Amino acid sequence: MAHLISASILNADFSNLKKEIEMINTSETDWFHLDIMDGVFVPNISFGFPIVEQVKKYGSKPLDVHLMIADPDKYIERFKEAGADVLTVHYETCVHLHRTVQSIKSLGMKAGIALNPHTPVSVLEDIIQDVDMVLIMTVNPGYGGQKFIENSYQKITRLTKMIKEKGASTLIQVDGGVDLLNTRKLVDTGVNVLVVGSFIFRSNNPLDIVTKLKKA
């Protein structure tokens, strides 16, 4: 399959959010990526349900919601109501991960698991076949615009091997420091979905950047 681009609105201009959403609607972007941060699991606070609902209202593409929060189980149903199509939780925050994944899927959403840079992919061996997507954090979660962690390529390679050996159809997503310099290498290593934020929204021509990322 061709790689997908998930535009992270964390880097959008929130004073003109509707305009930014409409811009992404007209681009070759595949998903909207929404980072939900609580200031507990990560050292930052982003936004909550009202923003998710606004993106759902004005957006014409699936909502890829990434929960960087403590105790995500409390909010699974609420994010479904807000419009999430894909809901990703962190391995590091889930005591009963399999139960969490099943709860997400029972509501009709795709279930993703995110791994922080220090967390090995081996922790997913017994659940990989039940998961729709694994998000490899290629920066430390919490802030946009960080430098890509080079060791991530080896991690992606190990995950790609695991997915093949298990006969799973799990997608691999990366988030952090993605640009035109590393897109092709990431895709060649096995990445299916690229989360891109500041590189799109801070460019002079976001539509052109998205087209180049899709063709890379």
- Superfamily, domain 4-215: Aldolase class I (3.20.20.70)
Q: What is the mean pLDDT of residues 211-216?
A: 94
Task: Name the amino acid, one letter, at 127.
Answer: I
Q: Which is catalytic among the residues 30, 35, 38, 132?
A: 35
Q: What are phi and psi of 212, to 5 degrees?
A: -65, -35
Give the pLDDT band of residue 181 (cuts 50, 70, 90).
Answer: very high
Spell out the domain ranges in the chain. 4-215
pLDDT digit string, tens, across residues 7-24: 999 999 999 999 999 999
pLDDT digits (tens, 9 = 90+) for 69-89: 999 999 999 999 999 999 999
Q: What is the DSSP string of 66-97?
A: EEESSSGGGGHHHHHHHT-SEEEEEGGG-SSH
Radius of gyration, alpha carbons of the chain: 16
Confidence of residue 144 (pLDDT cuts 50, 70, 90): low
| Options 38, 64, 132, 175, the catalytic residue | 175
Residue type, 108: G
pLDDT of residue 157: 98
- Decide if 175 is catalytic: yes
Give the residue from 152, 104, 114 showing the smallest Cα distance to 36: 114
Closest residue by Cα to residue 34 from 62, 72, 2: 62
Q: Which of 64-68, 136-140, 210-214 has the lowest mean pLDDT?
A: 136-140
What average pLDDT is seen over the chain?
95
- Give yes or no: 130 in active site: no
**How far, in Å, are 83, 109, 119 from residue 79 at the CA level?**
6, 10, 25
Query: Residue 143's pLDDT is what?
Result: 65
